[in-house]
Amino acid sequence: MSTEGHPGGTVYVVRENEGISYVARRFGQSWTALWQHPSNAELRRKRENPEVLLAGDQVFIPPIAPRWQGCETGRLHTFRLKASPLLLVLTLKDRRGRPFAGRNYLVEVEQESFEGKTDAEGRLRQRVSPKATQARLTLWPETRGYPETLSWTLEISGLEPWDTVRGVQQRLNNLGFPCGTPTGQLDAPTRAALGDFQTRQGLASTGALDPDTCRALRDLHGA
């Protein structure tokens, strides 16, 4: 376990593909309480999204305070742990960048299924279990040129900050500009994907990771 000593608690050193919900689950804590802890203020200033952390980031883990609950003896009692859900937010668009607005969707995560409709911008918002690491999304596009359904397997958490090469590769893949498995290297497939993205955004197609491209990528991806 990647931890360091700290008075009154522990400092956990984040590893690759870990977000705050994973860290909280590992230590049996609420991710919202962990993220909002005063000792994690510097981390909040550095990372605006709690699920987008970088390997090497440090999270303070406070000791778990015991809670006493009076119970009648001689009887069986059941206690349930309340966990703050994660909010899954996705924007779905067609090949021309037009939103799949008002379309039916199905999100399957762990043993639960959630049905709904995308909003006018093609966005869906769904609360899921903080334990979730994967989800299956099915969309009914109802659009000429598309099959009856579109399906994706979603990796929940594990997104690196947008200002890292690996984070850029993850976002390019998510936006439909495939560059292969994220390696953290600005290789030929990544430069080709960047060039395609730049052309689509009306930027000079250089394949370089310049400030204008980073801003456009961040704005379009949303995190």
Residue 203 lies in a domain: yes
pTM over the 0.85 mark = no
| Residue 151 forms part of a structural domain | yes
Stretch 27-54: mean pLDDT: 91
Whether residue 149 sits in one domain with residue 176: no
Q: What is the pLDDT of residues 169-217, one digit of tens each?
A: 999 998 889 999 999 999 999 999 999 999 999 999 999 999 999 989 9
- Residue at which a domain ends, from 155, 180, 206: 155
Please report, for residues 36, 108, 140, 142, the alpha-carbon distance to residue 113 in angstroms, rounded to integers and kept in the order given.
30, 4, 15, 21
Residue 67 inside a domain? The answer is: no
CA distances from 129 to 21, 35, 61, 76, 152 (A): 10, 17, 21, 27, 19
Q: Residue 216: its pLDDT value, please? A: 92
Confidence grade of residue 7 (pLDDT, cut at 50, 70, 90)? low
Please tell me whether residues 90 and 38 are part of one structural domain: no
pLDDT above 50 (res 153)? yes
Number of domains within the chain: 3
Q: What is the pLDDT of residues 46-89, one digit of tens each?
A: 998 898 899 899 999 999 878 788 888 989 988 876 767 888 88
More confident residue, 151 or 87: 151
Range of the structural domain that residue 217 is part of: 165-221
For the cut 50, the answer to whether the pLDDT of residue 5 exceeds it is no
